[in-house]
């Protein structure tokens, strides 16, 4: 059974389309990375899935129900982000003791262990916490609630490198203990890559890719060599990214299954064939300008 299903999902803010004709499904017990640059529509999509906002058109179901105003979805879903609100009158310890009433799978042992590990102060108020500590506390709530659908929207905002690493490890270990569906949004793949199963790549509110991370790594290859040879070989191909290396060489990223024999031909022509890191590919696929930042400077120089 699909946990989430979206069909032709669109959300407008005035004239801007934050999410545009999005269709996809997410299966049970999959950790999905929702990746895209700022403004790609990640948060908007997640808030629709959580039932916080309504789509302008299209259909969304979570656990086979429309999430907007669904208690079933709310009881089985937690949405963790840096804007999570808690009563300013309650201390962190009081918030933690209030949570089990809401979530039947709540694991107080885990919550307390994590709380102590990250040396949080039980008497502190949530709104007095620093950005990174807030993220850490919210993450603990998110993990300990053990909801069948756990949504993390940019969960590592403001966390130190060490805490971030611990977070990914905690998330994975908790998932291994209690497999469940998780969505994890980030503008970069970075450290999250290895713990993800699938990746959903958004650009300007549209779906760019939705596939297993392991496939993403083999989705594209880079050709490096003489400029003319490369432009000849890649003629008619969709080039995801291209840059010049010095005056005579260039580097071009294309689909691995682009054209039969293209790679063999390239090898024969003395062109190097290199893998493309998943994170780089995500950036290439979601940037409008194929030449990247170098393009700006190269063009500027020619005047």
Partner 1 sequence: MSLTETSLFEAVRNQYLYKLKSRLGLFVAMAGTQVLALLFSMGGVASYGRGSQYLHISVKYYSSDIVIWFTILWIFFIAAQITARDEQNIDFTFVSNRLSGNLSNAAFLVTAALIGGITAILSGFLLRVIIYFKGGIYLSSQNFIAAPDVVFTGMAVTILYLLLFGALGYFCGVLARLSPVFIVLLIGLFFFGGWFVPRSILPAQVIVFFRVESSLALLTLKVMITMVLLYACSFILSNRLEVR
Partner 2 sequence: MVLDMVGDKPVYIQIAEWLENEILGGDIKENEKVYSQYQLAEMFNINPATAARGINILAEQGILYKKRGLGMFLAANAMEKIQHKRRNYTLKKLVEKVVVEARRLGIDEEELLGIMRQAGKELDE
Give residues in contact with partner 2 (CB under 8 A): 30-31, 168-169, 172-173, 176, 193-197, 212-214, 217-218, 274-275, 277
Q: How far is the CB of 33 from partner 2 (least distance, A)?
A: 10
Sole window of 32-40, 72-80, 205-213, 250-258 interacting with partner 1 (rule: CB under 8 A) = 72-80
Site string for partner 1, 97-116 (x = CB under 8 A): -xx-xxxxx-----------
Alpha carbon separation from 130 to 25, 116, 135, 170 (Å, rounded): 36, 17, 9, 21
Q: How far is the CB of 18 from partner 2 (least distance, A)?
A: 29
Residues 6+ apart with CB under 8 A from 202: 22, 34, 35, 36, 40, 41, 42, 45, 208, 286
Q: How far is the CB of 122 from partner 2 (least distance, A)?
A: 30
Residue 19 burial (CB count, 10 A): 27
* HSE-up (13 A, CA, CB side) for residue 199: 29
In the numeric block, which tokens belong to residue 241?
A: 């990214």
The neighbouring-strand residues paired with 150 are 78, 182
Q: State the Cα–Cα distance between residues 45 and 24, nearest whole angstrom.
A: 12
Partner interacting with residue 194 (select from partner 1, partner 2, none; CB below 5-8 Å by kind): partner 2
Judged by CB under 8 A, the number of residues near partner 1 is: 37
Based on the shown chain and the rule CB under 8 A, indicate whether residue 119 belongs to the binding site for partner 1.
Answer: no
Q: State the Cα–Cα distance between residues 55 and 36, nearest whole angstrom.
A: 20
At what angle are helices 161-177 and 131-144 packed, to 10 degrees? 0
- Of the pair 90, 163, the CB lying nearest partner 2 is at 163
Q: How far is the CB of 275 from partner 2 (least distance, A)?
A: 5
Site string for partner 1, 157-196 (x = CB under 8 A): ---------------------xxxx---------------
Site string for partner 1, 20-59 (x = CB under 8 A): ---------x-----------------x--xxxxx-----
Partner interacting with residue 176 (select from partner 2, partner 1, none; CB below 5-8 Å by kind): partner 2
At what angle are helices 161-177 and 108-117 packed, to 10 degrees? 160
> What is the chain's length?
303
In the numeric block, which tokens belong to residue 117?
A: 């590990």
In the numeric block, which tokens belong to residue 237?
A: 């191909």
Sole window of 67-75, 111-119, 128-136, 202-210 interacting with partner 1 (rule: CB under 8 A) = 67-75
Q: State the Cα–Cα distance between residues 52 and 279, nearest whole angstrom.
A: 30
* Interface ranges with partner 1 (CB under 8 A): 29, 47, 50-54, 63, 69-72, 74-76, 79, 83-87, 89-90, 94, 98-99, 101-105, 146, 148, 178-181
């Amino acid at each position: 059974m699909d946990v989430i299903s979206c069909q032709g999902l669109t959300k407008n803010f005035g004239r801007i389309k934050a999410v545009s004709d999005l269709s996809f499904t997410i299966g049970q017990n999959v950790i999905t990375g929702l990746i895209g640059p700022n403004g790609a529509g990640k948060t908007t999509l997640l808030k629709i899935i959580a039932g916080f906002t309504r789509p302008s058109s299209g259909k969304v179901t979570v656990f086979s129900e429309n999430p907007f105003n669904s208690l079933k979805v709310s009881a089985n879903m937690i949405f963790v982000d840096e804007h999570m609100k808690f009563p300013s009158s309650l201390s962190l310890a009081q918030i933690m003791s209030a949570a089990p009433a809401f979530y039947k799978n709540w694991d107080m042992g885990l919550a307390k262990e994590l709380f102590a590990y990250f040396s949080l102060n039980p008497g502190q108020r949530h709104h007095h916490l620093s950005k990174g500590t807030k993220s850490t506390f919210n993450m603990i709530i998110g993990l300990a609630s053990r909801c069948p659908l756990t949504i993390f929207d940019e969960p590592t905002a403001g966390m130190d490198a060490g805490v971030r690493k611990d977070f990914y490890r905690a998330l994975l270990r908790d998932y291994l203990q209690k497999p469940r569906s998780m969505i994890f949004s980030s503008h970069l793949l970075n450290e999250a890559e290895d713990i993800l199963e699938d990746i959903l790549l958004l650009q300007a509110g549209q779906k760019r890719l939705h596939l297993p991370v392991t496939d993403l790594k083999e989705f594209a290859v880079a050709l490096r060599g003489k400029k003319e040879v490369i432009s000849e070989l890649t003629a008619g191909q969709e080039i995801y990214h291209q840059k010049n290396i010095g005056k005579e060489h260039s580097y071009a990223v294309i689909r691995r299954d682009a054209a039969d024999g293209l790679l063999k031909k390239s090898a024969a022509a003395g062109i190097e064939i290199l893998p493309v890191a998943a994170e780089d590919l995500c950036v290439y696929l979601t940037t409008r300008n194929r030449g990247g930042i170098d393009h700006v400077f190269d063009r500027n120089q020619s005047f």
